[in-house]
Amino acid sequence: MADLKHEDYPRANAYDADWLLAADMGPNPLWLLEDLAHELDLRPGQRVLDLGSGKGATAAFLAKEYGVQVWAADLWVDPTAAAANIAAQGVDGVVTLKAEAHTLPFAHGFFDAIVCVDAYEYFGTADNYLAYLIGFLKPGGQLGVATPAMTREIRDLGHIPEHIKKLVGWEAIAWHTADWWRFQWEITELVDVTAARLQPNGWADWLRWSRAVSEYRGERDGALDMLEADNGQFLTFAILAARKR
């Protein structure tokens, strides 16, 4: 059985490794969320949107660990399957729904926080997206994002490194540096950026997860070649947090 115990993530350590690995859609969402949550002020009873929530691991974690009310919205995953996965953790009350990130079915100003783990890169890089999304936050509401990131901007490199292009193709242009995100958000003057940092262990954790997935499935995970070739040169995750003004 794959071991996901990690010295930096005591809360995530309490969750069943098989449950998490079966829900794999990318690097350990609970490690990412536990790190991201250090940058957020999550309090019991708050309304939190988990955007791009996938199979529901982060939604279960948010409800269980922080006592918040969670709406788990995702495009590709069937909400019934996500609800079953969340219920398997003994978590009740999470609303799962199918939603597209540009046409969200919520009232403006409804949420205390919006959290997005390994999904923002699919829809959040357009210049006008931040303004749209924070419309759903109360004033002072928090946005927290964990997203694949680069130590150098691809624009500055002038090309997508071959080992990344091989797996991700052009979509890697949505993987930015923490400084890129900070500027992108700060320039709007719509939010105060409270965190924009690269995870120092992001690549190592991603590799650790990819090896655990390989062991769990009995076959080599698709990301392993890319991560091994990278050797921590370019790839990591960015942890981003901001408050709506």
Ligand X SMILES: C[S@@+](CC[C@H](N)C(=O)[O-])C[C@H]1O[C@@H](n2cnc3c(N)ncnc32)[C@H](O)[C@@H]1O
Q: Verify binding: residue 12, ligand X, rule CB under 6 A.
A: no
CB of 245 to ligand X, least distance (A): 25
Q: Which residue is nearest to ligand X (CB)?
A: 54
Question: And the tokens for 85?
Answer: 């996965």
Site for ligand X in 124-153 (CB under 6 A): none
| The dihedral formed by the CA atoms of 135, 193, 75 and 118, expressed in degrees to the nearest 10 | -170
Determine the Cα–Cα distance for residues 78 and 161; give it in Å rounded to an integer. Answer: 34
Q: Compute the distance between CA of residue 29 and CA of residue 58 in angstroms, rounded to an integer.
A: 6
Interface with ligand X, residue 192, by CB under 6 A? no
Q: How far is the CB of 163 from ligand X (least distance, A)?
A: 19
Q: Closest by alpha carbon to 148, among 123, 172, 168, 175?
A: 175
AA identity, residue 21: L
78 touches ligand X (CB under 6 A) = no
When the beta carbons of 123 and 183 are compared against ligand X, the nearer one is 123
Does position 53 interact with ligand X (CB under 6 A)? The reply is: yes
Segment interacting with ligand X, rule: CB under 6 A, options 12-20, 79-87, 117-125, 129-137: 117-125
Q: Which of 2, 22, 25, 229 binds ligand X (CB under 6 A)?
A: 25
HSE, side-chain direction, 13 A CA sphere, residue 176: 21
Q: Which residue is listed with tokens 């890697």?
A: 172
Burial of 128 (0-12, 13-18, 19+ CB in 10 A): exposed
* Amino acid, single-letter form, for residue 54: G
Binding residue for ligand X, selected from 106, 110, 122, 129, defined by CB under 6 A: 122
User: Is the CB of 74 or the CB of 230 nearer to ligand X?
Assistant: 74
Q: Which spans of this chain sit near ligand X (rule: CB under 6 A)?
A: 25-26, 29, 52-54, 57-58, 74-77, 100-101, 117-119, 122-123
